[in-house]
C-alpha cells in the first residue's frame, strides 16, 4: 500500500500518514520495531522526558478498568541527557519523526528542556502540562490558562522546533485553555490527555493505585475526547492532534471529521502492538471507498463550526 492518500504535512513535518503514537504508550519507538513500520507513522511521541532522571511512583502503577486503564507511572524516565546522548542517536536509524514530550515543575524548566532538545533528529516538542507548578503552590499548569500560556512562551523562546501543547481534559472549559495557548504562540494542540480517576479495592478497603488517583485512558474516554476536539476545532486555527480511546480506523475517522488534522494512538498499543498499521490501512480504505484523495478532505467535514486549519489556507 502506497499511503499516497494519507500523506500529511503538519507543522512543516512531512508525514507518510497522519497516525502518530501517544507519549507513554509506545516507549521510544524501538520497542515496537518488530511489529510496526516506524517510518510509516506520522510521528512517535516518545516517553515523557524531564530534566533529571525520575524513578516514578511507588506501589501499583497500572490497573485495568472496563474498556480502559488507569495509570500513575509518575514520569519514570532516564532524563534528557540520557535521551540526547544514547536514545536519540539509536532511534534515528528507524526513519521516524521523533516528537519529544517534556514535563517540568516550572516554566523555566520547560524552556531549558526545549533548548536542550533543539537539535537535529527532533521533529517537534510536545508540552505535557498535567504537572504541578511548584512556584505557584502546586497548581497544575494544564488547568490554568495563564500558567499554560507561560509554559508555551518559555518553550517558544528557547527552540525553533514546532511546539505542541497537550491539553488536559480535567478543566471546566477546554476551549479557554486552547485559545490561551494559541494566543501564546503554540503551533498546535494535542488532546486529550488522560482523565483523572481512581479505583478502590473492595476487599482490602483501600485505593488500588499506589498514588491513589491515576490517568484514565482507553476506549471509555473516546466520546469525551471527540467532543473536546469538536469544541476546540471551533475555537482555534492551529492544527489539532486528536487522541483518546482510538482503537480502530473508524475511531480515527471520527476525530478527523470533528476537526483533527492528525491522530495519536495510545492505550490500544498495549492490546495490539500492530494497531497503528491496521489503522493506517483502514484509513486508506475509507478514503478510497468514499472517493476522497487525501485525509485533508475530511478534516472538520462533520463540524459546521470548524474554524479550519488546512494546509491550503496556511499557504495562502
What count of other Cβ atoms lies within 10 Å of the Cβ of residue 40? 18
Q: Which residue, 211, 208, 262, is CA-closest to 74?
A: 211
Q: How many residues does the chain have?
A: 316
Active site annotation includes 72: no
Burial of 235 (0-12, 13-18, 19+ CB in 10 A): middle
Q: Residue 109 and residue 272: Cα distance in Å, rounded?
A: 35
Q: Residue 84 and residue 157: Cα distance in Å, rounded?
A: 20
Q: Which residue, 194, 141, 191, 131, is CA-closest to 166?
A: 191
Q: Residue 53 and residue 51: Cα distance in Å, rounded?
A: 7
* Cis peptide leading into residue 192 (ω within 30°): yes
SS3 127: strand
Active site residues: 131
Amino acid at each position: 500500500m502506497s499511503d499516497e492518500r494519507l500523506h500529511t504535512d503538519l507543522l512543516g513535518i512531512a508525514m507518510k500518514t497522519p497516525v502518530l503514537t501517544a507519549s507513554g504508550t509506545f516507549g521510544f519507538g524501538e520497542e515496537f520495531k518488530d511489529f510496526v513500520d516506524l517510518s510509516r507513522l506520522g510521528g512517535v511521541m516518545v516517553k515523557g522526558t524531564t530534566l533529571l532522571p525520575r524513578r516514578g511512583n511507588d506501589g501499583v502503577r497500572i490497573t485495568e478498568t472496563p474498556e480502559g486503564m488507569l495509570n500513575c507511572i509518575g514520569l519514570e524516565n532516564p532524563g534528557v541527557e540520557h535521551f540526547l546522548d544514547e536514545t536519540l542517536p539509536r532511534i534515528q536509524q528507524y526513519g521516524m519523526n521523533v516528537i519529544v514530550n517534556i514535563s517540568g515543575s516550572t516554566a523555566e524548566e520547560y524552556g531549558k528542556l526545549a533548548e536542550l532538545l533543539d537539535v537535529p533528529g527532533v521533529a517537534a516538542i510536545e508540552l505535557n502540562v498535567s504537572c504541578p507548578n511548584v512556584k505557584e503552590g502546586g497548581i497544575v499548569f494544564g488547568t490554568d490558562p495563564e500558567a499554560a500560556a507561560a509554559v508555551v512562551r518559555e518553550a517558544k523562546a528557547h527552540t525553533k522546533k514546532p511546539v505542541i501543547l497537550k491539553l488536559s481534559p480535567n478543566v471546566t472549559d477546554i476551549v479557554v485553555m486552547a485559545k490561551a495557548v494559541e494566543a501564546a504562540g503554540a503551533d498546535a494542540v494535542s488532546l486529550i490527555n488522560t482523565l483523572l480517576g481512581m479505583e478502590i479495592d473492595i476487599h482490602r478497603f483501600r485505593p488500588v493505585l499506589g498514588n491513589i488517583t491515576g490517568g484514565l485512558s482507553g476506549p471509555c474516554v473516546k466520546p469525551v475526547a471527540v467532543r473536546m476536539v469538536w469544541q476546540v476545532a471551533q475555537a482555534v486555527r492551529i492544527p489539532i492532534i486528536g487522541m483518546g480511546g482510538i482503537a480502530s480506523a473508524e475511531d480515527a475517522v471520527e476525530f478527523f471529521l470533528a476537526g483533527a488534522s492528525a491522530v495519536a494512538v495510545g492505550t490500544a498499543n498495549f492490546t495490539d502492538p500492530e494497531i497503528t498499521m491496521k489503522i493506517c490501512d483502514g484509513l486508506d480504505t475509507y478514503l478510497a471507498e468514499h472517493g476522497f484523495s487525501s485525509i485533508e478532505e475530511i478534516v472538520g467535514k462533520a463540524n459546521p463550526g470548524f474554524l479550519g486549519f488546512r494546509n491550503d489556507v496556511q499557504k495562502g
